[in-house]
Amino acid sequence: MKRILKLFTAISIFVTIVASCSNDSSLIEAEELDFKEVIKVDPIMLQSNISIGEFANMIIIDSLLIVNTYNREYVIHVFDKRNGSFINNFLKIGNGPGEFISSGFRISNIGKMLYVYSPSVNLMRRYHFPELLTNSIPKEEVSFKEDSRIIVPIKSNYIASTYYKERFLLYDHLGKRLSKYDSFPRFFNDDDSSDLRTFYLNYQLINVKPDQTKFCSTTLAGSLIQVFNINNGAIELVKQKGFEPPIISKSKEKRGFADKECILGFRHIRVTDEYIYVLYCGTKVKDLNKNKDIVSSNIYVFDWNCKPIKKYEIKDGRATCFCIDEQDQKILLYSILEDGEATLSYFKL
């Protein structure tokens, strides 16, 4: 009888552990997107034939549009947000004082502080605008031990999206690791496999709310939004909604990557204190054009409870990157046209 009781207890503990490990953030049931408002927009051209390289990210500080691209000569490029005129390139890639030794960067900002993260050397540099326009020496440098694809500031800390290991890491302002968040979302029809880890680390995007209280994570493959906060040095899931489940490839060569039947969802994300804005692609992997341009003709807007609010339908839209100009109530778009021409345009909110 004692042996049976011990066996029953062991089984109960095992079931509890498995349940808690596989269901950390609860299974997500895909919901239909139902927007209260659909707005058709025809963007106004600011600049055409932009030749500095494909935009990776765009932010606005005062009257300046600051861009980082896949250019191999400079980290950032600055435009006048009002008319799209090019001002100059900054932060040269090289081995000199204040220069970066490789390309491939992530830029973010808190107010007039610009943060530039270099994933090849796990280094964050902080600059102040407009001083950066005349002085490329950073105000501060922070090094991180772990390899991360994205690191962005939040309050006096940093959030990291790693390459291979934990989903998110939380660091203090000196780069000391504080905690980790290692739960990966699952839709009801997902396989509970290690492929999920590779999949989300490859496709997730993050953006921090301007008031620094929360951050949002979305995925390029499938359509998922999750909102997190920081509480007592730990990352906590606050809200989540899924609209299109991802399809993960089962082939040996592409394990952990999107299957050819997978719908590409949220291409780019920007947030305000009120809303979450995402570029929605809606194209299956197998239907991408020969240049593999992941372009979008729709911007979806959600509140911070992940509730769909409105949809902007962009005329002839082929956007790959955008930013929100709250001061002038505009959305600025970077687009790649079918002939390969790169343009900068805008429309009013």
The answer to whether 303 touches 274, Cβ cutoff 8 Å, is yes
Rounded alpha-carbon distances, angstroms, from residue 145 to 114, 142, 225, 334, 342: 22, 10, 28, 34, 37
Tell me if 21 is assigned to some domain.
no
Strand partners, 334: 321, 344
Q: How far apart are CA 153 and CA 249, in angstroms?
A: 33
Q: φ, ψ for residue 13 (rounded to 5)?
A: -65, -45
User: How many domains does the structure of the chain reveal?
Assistant: 1
The CATH number assigned to the domain holding 118 equals: 2.120.10.30
Domain that holds residue 279: 30-348
Count Cβ atoms below 10 Å from residue 145 Cβ, excluding itself.
11
Token pair 């399809």: residue: 247
Residue 289 CB burial class (10 angstroms; 0-12, 13-18, ≥19): exposed
Tell me if 49 is assigned to some domain.
yes
Is the bond preceding 130 in cis, omega lying within 30 degrees of 0? yes
Tell me if 198 is assigned to some domain.
yes
Tell me if 267 is assigned to some domain.
yes
Q: φ, ψ for residue 305 (rounded to 5)?
A: -100, 10
- Strands of 220-297, DSSP E: 223-231, 234-244, 263-271, 275-284
**What is the full per-residue pLDDT of the chain (349 aa) written as tens digits?**
444 344 333 333 333 333 333 334 568 888 889 999 999 999 999 999 998 888 999 999 999 999 998 877 888 999 999 999 999 999 888 887 777 877 678 999 999 999 999 998 899 999 998 888 888 889 999 999 999 999 999 999 999 999 878 899 999 999 999 999 998 887 755 555 567 777 888 888 999 999 999 999 998 888 999 999 999 999 999 999 999 888 888 777 777 788 889 999 998 999 999 999 999 999 898 888 665 678 999 999 999 999 999 999 999 999 999 999 999 999 999 999 988 899 999 999 9
pTM of the model: 0.89
Length of the chain: 349
